[in-house]
Amino acid sequence: MKTLRDILYNVSIIAVHGDAGIPVNALAIDSRNIGNQDAFIAVKGVHADGHQYIEKAVSLGAAAIICESLPEVMHDQVTYVQVKDSAAASGIMAGNFFDNPSHQLKLVGVTGTNGKTTIATLLFRLYSKLGYHCGLLSTVQNQIGDTVIPSTHTTPDPISLNALLAKMVEDGCLYAFMEVSSHAIHQQRIAGLRFAGGLFSNITHDHLDYHKTFDEYIRVKKSFFDNLPTSAFALTNLDDKRGNVMLQNTKARKATYSLHTLADFKGKILENNLTGLIMMIDDTEVHFRLIGEFNAYNLLAVYGAARLLGEDKATVLQALSDIQGAEGRFDYFISDKDQIIAIVDYAHTPDALKNVLATIQNLRKGNEQLITVVGCGGDRDTAKRPIMADVAVENSDRVILTSDNPRSEDPTAIIAEMEKGVPVHLKKRCISIVDRKEAIKTALTLAGKNDIILVAGKGHEKYQEIHGVKHPFDDKQVLHDMMTMLEK
């Protein structure tokens, strides 16, 4: 068993009260997970302060307490360690506890508002296809080779994260590809990890409920690159306004990709339709199964990262050509009877919705109707609600505003906020139906031959979260079922 002293290696310590040589059984940042001989790390959170739970942790058997301010009552049998930053300490300690698994494989992190899941998943599938055993940490799921481990977050808390990386190392993985969310960077869930590379996709409006201003959101994302080591690569999208800024202060080896300007990895779209993309990448013409300009960016990012990790150009392009995208990202099927194209997409930001609708507009052959069903999540960025409704009506023939995951909010009130973004002259395009199933059914009823239906916002999600309860709900399944029912 490791001692507290071993686990504290590299942590900025202010004071130690008690014996640092005690053995530690497990680490926890949540007092509810404390067992005998564990170390509890008290972290200040968004809703509560972990320091309030120190006594509770001791009563459950904690042998060590890591905190920023020492409690008034200290027990003789417990070791108290005062640190400068408990959140940072939790990452570093989790690394030490699990033998720093990120040092034992090549860990690649992907950040940006949109495209993280797609890029990380494509990298995982590419490397698996190239014959490497590897791991994936993503919004949709975590994976170690073929073994799927359900994910609770885009980027897990530092203890779960290091535990998963340690399992990957134990299982013989050489690479791990992970999404790095802005929440995770800000909450230091990635503290102490050693990255072999970092990728930037893009940055647009999202999560302003959490980060408050766009500048702060940019600063947080940038800090991921600021902290990369010199041994890593940092790959950025030059077509994004903030692409250069992201790498301004990084020590890592800089590299760029672009569809529109000179870059280390240069791509051009030759064809973009429902059968996929044809692109020119560094003078080679390649066909991909993924659809839409935004996926051209994702593919280019993946190609660039693989080259920076040392793979051969022809091998990468050949393998990438046949790979499918992540679940619920431009996931579509065509109905037998009326050839209605039904698309499920995880677009839950104004920019993602705009991109997916622009992609659909490009795919239109004649004057098919485009019907969009969309909602916004509760307890999340409220500023995006009217913007998303506006984007939807500006770029669709018919829009049905509906409920996403209302969480603790009233879905009718969320929809009312969305409605405020619909310009008066476009109001007739738009109706609101709170029940998501009814909304999808109505879209199908409105659709005629060859029309296109986009159901946006929930992608792969298999539930609808209402007041803390996750009710089974799957956009793709509902579309299938309703279509079958209406065709009978």
Ligand X SMILES: Nc1ncnc2c1ncn2[C@@H]1O[C@H](COP(=O)(O)OP(=O)(O)OP(=O)(O)O)[C@@H](O)[C@H]1O
Ligand Y SMILES: CC(=O)N[C@H]1[C@@H](OP(=O)(O)OP(=O)(O)OC[C@H]2O[C@@H](n3ccc(=O)[nH]c3=O)[C@H](O)[C@@H]2O)O[C@H](CO)[C@@H](O)[C@@H]1O[C@H](C)C(=O)N[C@@H](C)C(=O)N[C@H](CCC(=O)O)C(=O)O
Ligand Z SMILES: N[C@H](CCC[C@H](N)C(=O)O)C(=O)O
Which residues of the shown chain bind ligand Y in the complex (CB under 6 A)? Answer: 29-32, 43, 45-48, 50, 53, 153-155, 157, 181-184, 187
- The reply, when asked if residue 406 is annotated as ligand binding, is yes
User: Is residue 411 near ligand Z by the rule CB under 6 A?
Assistant: no
User: Is residue 457 near ligand Z by the rule CB under 6 A?
Assistant: yes
Q: Are 436 and 443 in contact (CB under 8 A)?
A: no
- The reply, when asked if residue 450 is annotated as ligand binding, is no
With CB under 6 A as the contact rule, the residue among 38, 240, 351, 404 that binds ligand Z is 404
Q: Scanning residues 105 to 164, which ones bind Mg ion (CB under 5 A)?
A: 116-117, 139, 154
Q: How far is the CB of 310 from Mg ion (least distance, A)?
A: 26
Tokens of residue 86, six digits: 């408990």
Q: Nearer Cβ to ligand Z, position 154 or 432?
A: 154
277: nearest Cα among 346, 336, 362? 362
Residue 405's binding partner among ligand Y, Mg ion, ligand Z, none (Cβ under 5 to 8 angstroms by kind) is ligand Z
User: Is residue 154 near ligand Z by the rule CB under 6 A?
Assistant: yes
Q: How far is the CB of 457 from ligand X (least distance, A)?
A: 9
- The reply, when asked if residue 223 is annotated as ligand binding, is no
Q: Scanning residues 171 to 190, which ones bind Mg ion (CB under 5 A)?
A: 179
User: Is residue 156 near ligand X by the rule CB under 6 A?
Assistant: no
Q: Nearer Cβ to ligand Z, position 128 or 154?
A: 154
The one segment of 20-28, 68-76, 342-350, 464-472 that binds ligand X by CB under 6 A: 342-350
User: Is residue 114 near ligand X by the rule CB under 6 A?
Assistant: yes
With CB under 6 A as the contact rule, the residue among 179, 368, 390, 451 that binds ligand X is 179
Q: How far is the CB of 430 from ligand X (least distance, A)?
A: 20
The 369-398 site mask, x for binding ligand Z (CB under 6 A), equals --------x--x------------------
- The reply, when asked if residue 325 is annotated as ligand binding, is no
Residue nearest to ligand Z (CB): 377
Q: Residues marked as binding for ATP?
A: 112-118
Contact residues toward ligand Z (CB under 6 A) are 154, 348, 377, 380, 404-405, 457-458, 461
Residue set of the binding site:
31, 112-118, 154-155, 181, 187, 189, 380, 404-407, 457, 461
Question: What does the binding site for Mg ion look like in residue numbers (CB under 5 A)?
Answer: 116-117, 139, 154, 179
Contact set with ligand X (CB under 6 A) = 114-118, 139, 154, 179, 201-202, 294, 297-298, 329, 345-347, 351-352, 355-356, 459
Q: Which residues are annotated as a binding site for meso-2,6-diaminopimelate?
A: 380, 404-407, 457, 461
